[in-house]
Amino acid sequence: MTPAAADLRGCGNPRPGRGAPEPIVLTAATATLTRAARRLSARLEELERKLDADDEAAWLEYRDSAVALATITAQLRPEATGQLLSTEEMASRLNIAPKTLLRRKARGEIRPALQRGRLIRWRGDEKLA
């Protein structure tokens, strides 16, 4: 593991009954995109203040920054990288309880990307019926 990747390593969600949390390792590209998204977000806030002060010249840069941020954000989503989500993570994304998500799965309203026994993983782009 490179020193840059080691510095970016964090702890994932604890897995009940399984001991230590699973580590999450960010690649250098993901770390760079995350920093770029933070900078673009801060720049958009600055530009919003200019727009609120009736600075019409800020609109073009504001639009370009918003498009760039939307593009970067799409690349950072788990499903864009092939990363699968746990039931807890997917439920959080849908703003529902994990139990509700499992009930809806049982009724056939939503289908996980992977299910092997008790292991259930989601792509992140599933929609409730």
Q: Which two tokens stand for residue 66?
A: 């918003």
pLDDT tens per residue across span 98-109: 999 999 999 999
Interatomic CA distance for residues 100 and 114, integer angstroms:
18
Q: Quick one: three-class SS letters along 18-38?
A: CCCCCEECCCHHHHHHHHHHH
Q: What local confidence, expressed as pLDDT, does residue 79 receive? A: 62
pLDDT tens per residue across span 59-113: 999 999 999 999 988 888 766 666 788 999 999 988 999 999 999 999 999 999 8
Phi, psi of 107 (to 5 degrees): -85, -5
pTM: 0.48
Interatomic CA distance for residues 125 and 129, integer angstroms:
13
In the chain, domain spans: 8-13+22-76, 87-121
The overall average pLDDT reported for the chain is: 80
Interatomic CA distance for residues 24 and 91, integer angstroms:
20
Task: Please state whether beta strands 23-24 and 114-116 pair in parallel, antiparallel, or not at all (unpaired).
Answer: unpaired
Phi, psi of 61 (to 5 degrees): -65, -35
- How many percent of the chain have pLDDT more than 70? 75
Neighbours of 90 (CB within 10 A): 24
